[in-house]
Amino acid sequence: EAGVAQSPRYKIIEKRQSVAFWCNPISGHATLYWYQQILGQGPKLLIQFQNNGVVDDSQLPKDRFSAERLKGVDSTLKIQPAKLEDSAVYLCASSSRVVEKLFFGSGTQLSVL
Amino acid sequence: GQQLNQSPQSMFIQEGEDVSMNCTSSSIFNTWLWYKQDPGEGPVLLIALYKAGELTSNGRLTAQFGITRKDSFLNISASIPSDVGIYFCAGLVTTSGTYKYIFGTGTRLKVLA
């Protein structure tokens, strides 16, 4: 069974530029999550989707971050414009149901210069 | 907000030694997950716990769901060099009818051969 796929693996941008990350969850998983992991910290939930609807986006900085999951499968996370403090690893995870185990992708490491 | 405190933050141990780490909170959790993260990779699920008092093993790893539902413990027996990494706990909480996982700050394990 294929795992959670994320791309790109690495991205370097300058502040005020835009960036987008892509995630393809495990087949059949209805719930998809985006987490931000700053160096030395645990993952922090940014947004949670159930199929193509948003369940929780309370921690998403909506003035610069946006995410969508239009067909209930793939998802994209965008940052526009990026700030220095956005440098982090962005992890995508999926689960078959909200209360089930999370499975993570390898993440996208973002460096904002 | 809800927080998970992991301890110790880091530890050096000799190969062959047993390791214990824990995760505590002031909040009650419905599920505990334990993950291991290697550098440059996403967290990999080790053990899932669903009931207070539950004790579950996965090879040399054993985890327990605390009776108060506010803590969890992970033990690694006879550590080997490949156990090096960061171990995260994650607890499932309910907020306003929404379920989400909160992650701890991690325990960094280094094994000396």
Q: Considering only the beta carbons, identify the residue of A35, A42, A99 that sits closest to B31.
A: A99
Residue pLDDT, tens place only, A4-33 = 999 999 999 999 999 999 999 999 999 999
Q: Considering only the beta carbons, identify the residue of A45, A91, A98 that sits closest to B42.
A: A91
Averaged pLDDT for residues B76-95: 93
Interchain contact, A41 vs B92, CB within 8 Å? no
Structure tokens at B110: 């280094």
Contact B24, B5 (CB under 8 A): yes
Task: Using a CB–CB cutoff of 8 Å, tell me whether B102 touches chain A.
Answer: yes
Q: Considering only the beta carbons, identify the residue of B92, B102, B106 that sits closest to A99.
A: B92
Interchain contact, B42 vs A48, CB within 8 Å? no
Question: What is the distance between the alpha carbons of residues B77 and B93, in angstroms, rounded to a whole number?
Answer: 29
Which runs of E-coded beta strand occur in chain A?
A: 5-7, 10-13, 19-24, 31-37, 44-50, 53-56, 65-68, 75-79, 88-95, 103-104, 108-112
Task: Using a CB–CB cutoff of 8 Å, tell me whether A52 touches chain B.
Answer: no
Interchain contact, B33 vs A104, CB within 8 Å? no
Interchain contact, A101 vs B103, CB within 8 Å? no
In the beta sheet, which residues pair with residue B13? Answer: B111
For residues A80 and B94, the model is more confident at A80
Residue pLDDT, tens place only, A66-99 = 999 988 899 999 999 999 999 999 999 999 987 7
Question: What is the distance between the alpha carbons of residues A50 and B2, in angstroms, rounded to a whole number?
Answer: 22
A53: Cβ–Cβ under 8 A, 6 or more apart, which residues?
Answer: none
- Whether residue A1 is predicted with pLDDT greater than 90 in this model: the reply is no
Interchain contact, B88 vs A42, CB within 8 Å? yes
